[in-house]
Amino acid sequence: MDDCIFCKIIGGEIPSKKIYEDDEMYAFHDISPQAPVHFLVIPKKHIPNVMEASPEDSALLGRLFHKAQALLAEQGCAEKGGRFVVNCKSDGMQTVPHIHIHVLGGRMLGWPPG
């Protein structure tokens, strides 16, 4: 999608610190990390948010989560885990309308969210 910053990151028009890429997904460090480990896993397909994902996207979204857990383990968080967050639309405070999994780790995270 033309004016989507995450599509531009996938296309290389906007630089990013890449962690992983294959034919259907891309993972990169968040520009404003909220924990010692904070990266994003996104599909290359432009899906705006969880509520606009279709049943055909189910397997893809499952693979994103599986890759997210593998990458979190690679970042040294296998034992203590972390958090997998998908913000959705305005009440979820989603700021980039291209679906993404936030993956956070490396410190104890607070709950509930504010």
Catalytic (active-site) positions: 100
* 35 lies in the site for Zn ion, by CB under 5 A: no
**Is it true that the peptide bond before 112 is cis, omega within 30 degrees of 0?**
yes
* 41 lies in the site for ligand AMP, by CB under 6 A: no
Task: Compute how many residues bind ligand AMP; rule: CB under 6 A.
Answer: 11
Q: Which is nearer to ligand AMP, 40 or 77 (CB)?
A: 40
Q: Least distance to Zn ion from the beta carbon of 34, Å?
A: 22
Cβ–Cβ < 8 Å for 69, 78: no
Q: How far is Cα 94 from Cα 83, in angstroms, rounded to an integer?
A: 16
Q: Which residues contact 68 (CB under 8 A, 6 or more apart)?
A: 27, 41, 84, 101, 103
* 31 lies in the site for ligand AMP, by CB under 6 A: yes
Residues of this chain that interact with ligand AMP (CB under 6 A) are 5, 14, 16, 30-32, 87, 93-96
